[in-house]
Amino acid sequence: MKSFFSWLVGEEYIPKNPALKLKQTKQPKRLRNALTEEELEIFKNACKTLREKTIVEFLVSTGCRLSEVVNANIKDINWSEKSLYVIGKGDKQRKVYFNTRTKLLLKSYLESRNDNNEALFVTSKKPNSRLGARSIQRELKNISNRTNSEKSIFPHLMRHTFATHKLNSGMSLSVLQHIMGHDNPATTQIYASLNEENILHEYRRVS
């Protein structure tokens, strides 16, 4: 209604906007439930190829956005530090980190390739071009179908799972904000919203 009346005023069909003081309605925030540790292990075990295993581990280990994974390059990896420079929103560069399991999988995956592409992940068929966003989404969907899970699994859910698990493990919001590349701390705060998994985790931690 606000948009409609604004248009009427703009086109000079009416002299005054009667909806000017109407407050904007806000949609309630709906958090996607992060994968539990059990669900994540089931998902990992459903991976068949080395590339599938590496992509999944990389996503859940770094918390990267899908676009950041697509644009990641081999030369930006610091193997000794287990870190990688990625380009996030607003063309901003930041450093993300990965665990030892991810490092070993990345090494194995890269050694299995017979191409000279600078991209971290490439297509399996020649000319082995950079793996696109839709291909990664399709890869996760195929893995998900093997688990017979009712939960829809997609790249951003892996990022959400990373953030939730890190907070549950005691990582501070400020550190998580930096790792995830959030400009606004309120965005990171969303992951700290209490849900049943967080409550159960804290209960068991202090029991």
pLDDT of 29-86, one tens digit each? 445 678 989 999 999 999 999 999 999 999 999 999 999 999 999 999 999 999 999 9
Q: Is the pLDDT of residue 205 over 80?
A: no
Amino acid at 100: T
Instruction: With cut-offs at 50, 70 and 90, classify the pLDDT of residue 15.
Output: confident
Q: Which residues contact 135 (CB under 8 A, 6 or more apart)?
A: 123
- 8-state DSSP, 83: E
The answer to whether 203 is a known catalytic residue is: no
Calpha distance 111→202 (Å, rounded)? 41
Catalytic residue among 53, 165, 182, 201: 182
Q: Which residue in the list 53, 159, 160, 165 is annotated as catalytic?
A: 159
What does the alpha-carbon distance between residue 200 and residue 204 come to, in Å, rounded to a whole number?
6
What pLDDT, on the 0 to 100 scale, is given for residue 198? 61
156 tagged catalytic: yes
pLDDT of residue 150: 83
For the question of residue 95 being annotated catalytic, the response is no
Q: Please enumerate in sequence order all residues whose Cβ is within 8 A of that of 79, keeping only pairs 6 or more positions apart, or say none.
A: 103, 107
The question of whether 30 is a catalytic residue gets the answer no
Provide, for the chain, the percentages of residues in helix, strand and coil under a 3-state DSSP scheme, each rounded to the nearest 5.
Answer: 55, 10, 40
Domains of the chain: 37-192 (1.10.443.10)
**Whole-number average pLDDT of the chain:** 88
The yes-or-no answer on residue 159 being catalytic is yes
Q: Using CA atoms, how far apart are residues 98 and 162, in angstroms rounded to an integer?
A: 11
51, 65, 160, 165: the active-site residue: 65
The single residue of 89, 92, 146, 205 carrying the catalytic annotation is 89
Q: Is 201 a catalytic residue?
A: no
CA distance 84 to 2: 46
Q: How far is CA 165 from the centre of its chain?
A: 13
Given 141, 151, 156, 205, the catalytic residue: 156
CA–CA separation, 180 and 163 (whole Å) = 8
